């Protein structure tokens, strides 16, 4: 609202004319008259006492949540730590309560380029997750805990990456690097008494700079091809070697069986010869004749035999022997004018011979190659 209203003269919000400020003396006198029985010193004391009581009632207690602890400072110095619950404290500025969440997981992330052991540049994106384990150290050891954790994490990552080669970093050994980084970071924060526990370290991306990414992709492809070929060779070896071992075992078993057979047969032959020698010494003539008969029996057993029961009165053609097979059969035929049934050579079929019936003696003639 404008203080100067047209046509009505000048007016101000204090209800006075003339454009002057409020009368502070008069205002103070009215307050003293209202609260202090006419402005006596006792009235001022009552006002001060009421203010003190209100101050104590409103600022002398605190409630700590279940996930928090309260760190109490008295005149800026650490005094005690409050557990979750309702607590009485001295009002500010005598005591102050700083509440710290002890269960939530805090995290910091960063991306940076660093130098490896073999003087290559690699870009690392990492994420650090941590929790507070000591509220007093967390509040008073560092001015900015999150920034301190980030700087300590960067130092630890640079230490681990700087001690590794590019091939090691890109070869899938991330788990070992993560464990080494977490241990190094935890030791560094413990040396600062930071009151922080590192719960997890993640390397979200490890890659070469964009300028040399194509060359590194070729290297990675060659490494993958090498690993694939090695796996194929191992699979082939695992398939072929058992078969070769099985064949070797089978051949060895056959050789051992053949050896055992030959040895047993030789021992049996020698034993049989000794027994025969013993019998020969007892009856030489009988044993000699027996051996001759057995030998002739073995020789003639596999040969074709023709028996002539006509006492040389029939013309018989002996079959030619076949190598490796049975002798052919001799079919029967009747000579013209003789009336006798004879056997003549035939084709390469059949086996055995059939004796011809007897014929008159005049029908018999000798022919070279015939046998009676």
Looking at the domain assignment, is residue 214 inside a domain?
no
d(CA 135, CA 266): 96
Q: Region 178-185: what's the mean pLDDT?
A: 89
d(CA 186, CA 166): 25
Looking at the domain assignment, is residue 371 inside a domain?
no
pLDDT at residue number 43: 62
pLDDT at residue number 176: 84
Q: Region 252-265: what's the mean pLDDT?
A: 94
Q: Please answer whether residues 312 and 363 qualify as being in contact, where contact means their C-beta atoms are separated by less than 8 angstroms.
A: no
pLDDT at residue number 70: 85
- Which is nearest to 307 in space by CA: 248, 366, 362, 354? 354
Confidence of residue 120 (pLDDT cuts 50, 70, 90): confident
**Strand stretches in the chain, DSSP E:** 61-64, 68-74, 77-82, 85-88, 95-101, 106-115, 121-132, 196-207, 332-334, 341-343
Does the pLDDT value for residue 305 go beyond 80? no
Same domain, 82 and 131: no
Looking at the domain assignment, is residue 341 inside a domain?
yes
> Comparing 37-46, 203-212, 264-273, 347-356, which segment has the lowest mean pLDDT?
347-356
Confidence of residue 313 (pLDDT cuts 50, 70, 90): confident
pLDDT at residue number 68: 84
Same domain, 93 and 164: no
Q: Which residue has the higher pLDDT, 250 or 348?
A: 250
| Domain finish residue from 101, 130, 155 | 101
Residues in the chain: 372
Summarised one tens digit per residue, pLDDT across range 7-20 is 444 444 444 444 45
Summarised one tens digit per residue, pLDDT across range 327-346 is 554 444 444 444 444 444 44
| Domain finish residue from 161, 180, 208 | 208
Looking at the domain assignment, is residue 166 inside a domain?
yes
Summarised one tens digit per residue, pLDDT across range 214-244 is 877 787 788 889 999 999 999 999 999 999 9
Range of the domain at 171: 106-208
Confidence of residue 260 (pLDDT cuts 50, 70, 90): very high
Same domain, 112 and 203: yes
Looking at the domain assignment, is residue 265 inside a domain?
no
Looking at the domain assignment, is residue 258 inside a domain?
no
Same domain, 83 and 171: no
Same domain, 120 and 187: yes
Looking at the domain assignment, is residue 190 inside a domain?
yes
Confidence of residue 271 (pLDDT cuts 50, 70, 90): very high
Helix, strand, or coil here: 197? strand
Same domain, 139 and 153: yes
Does the pLDDT value for residue 277 go beyond 70? yes
Same domain, 118 and 198: yes
| Domain finish residue from 101, 124, 140 | 101
pLDDT at residue number 41: 54
d(CA 163, CA 171): 15
Provide the token pair at 227: 């690993």
pLDDT at residue number 2: 47
Same domain, 83 and 126: no
Same domain, 96 and 110: no
Longest Cα–Cα distance of the chain, Å, equals 192
Beta bridge mates, 95:
74
Average per-residue pLDDT for the chain: 75
Summarised one tens digit per residue, pLDDT across range 185-216 is 999 999 888 889 999 998 888 887 777 778 77
How many domains is the chain partitioned into structurally? 3
Same domain, 200 and 160: yes
Q: Which residue has the higher pLDDT, 218 or 173?
A: 218
> Comparing 92-96, 253-257, 265-269, which segment has the lowest mean pLDDT?
92-96
Looking at the domain assignment, is residue 189 inside a domain?
yes
Same domain, 34 and 127: no
Does the pLDDT value for residue 248 go beyond 90? yes
Q: Domain containing 120 — which CATH number?
A: 3.30.479.30
Q: Region 285-301: what's the mean pLDDT?
A: 87
Same domain, 117 and 177: yes
Percent of the chain exceeding pLDDT 90 equals 18
């Amino acid at each position: 609202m404008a203080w100067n209203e047209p046509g009505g003269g000048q007016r101000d919000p204090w209800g006075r004319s003339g454009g002057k400020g409020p009368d502070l003396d008069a205002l103070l006198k009215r307050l003293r008259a209202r609260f202090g029985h006419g402005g006596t010193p006792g009235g001022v004391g009552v006002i001060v006492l009421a203010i003190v009581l209100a101050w104590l009632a409103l600022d002398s207690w605190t409630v700590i949540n279940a996930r928090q602890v309260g760190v109490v400072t008295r005149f800026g110095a650490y005094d005690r730590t409050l557990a979750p619950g309702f607590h009485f404290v001295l009002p500010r500025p005598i005591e102050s309560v700083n509440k710290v969440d002890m269960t939530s997981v805090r995290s910091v992330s960063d991306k940076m380029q660093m130098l490896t052991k073999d003087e290559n540049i690699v870009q690392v994106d990492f994420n650090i997750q941590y929790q507070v384990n000591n509220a007093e150290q967390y509040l008073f050891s560092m001015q900015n805990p999150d920034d301190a954790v980030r700087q300590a994490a960067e130092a630890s990552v640079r230490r681990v990456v700087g001690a590794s080669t590019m091939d090691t970093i890109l070869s899938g050994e991330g788990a070992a690097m993560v464990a080494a980084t977490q241990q190094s970071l935890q030791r560094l924060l413990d040396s600062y008494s930071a009151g922080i526990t590192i719960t997890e370290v993640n390397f979200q991306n490890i890659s070469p700079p964009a300028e040399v990414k194509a060359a590194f992709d070729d290297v990675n492809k060659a490494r993958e091809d090498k690993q694939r070929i090695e796996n194929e060779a191992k699979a082939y070896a695992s398939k072929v070697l058992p078969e070769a071992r099985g064949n070797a075992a089978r051949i060895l078993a056959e050789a051992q069986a053949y050896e055992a057979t030959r040895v047993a047969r030789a021992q049996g032959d020698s034993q049989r010869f000794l027994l025969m020698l013993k019998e020969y010494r007892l009856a030489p003539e009988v044993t000699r004749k027996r051996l001759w008969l057995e030998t002739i029996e073995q020789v003639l057993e596999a040969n074709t035999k023709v028996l002539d029961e006509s006492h040389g009165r029939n013309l018989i053609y002996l079959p030619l022997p076949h190598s490796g097979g049975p002798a052919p059969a001799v079919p029967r035929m009747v000579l013209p004018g003789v009336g006798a049934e004879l056997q003549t050579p035939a084709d390469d079929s059949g086996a055995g011979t059939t004796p011809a019936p007897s014929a008159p003696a005049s029908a018999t003639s000798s022919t070279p190659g015939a046998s009676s």
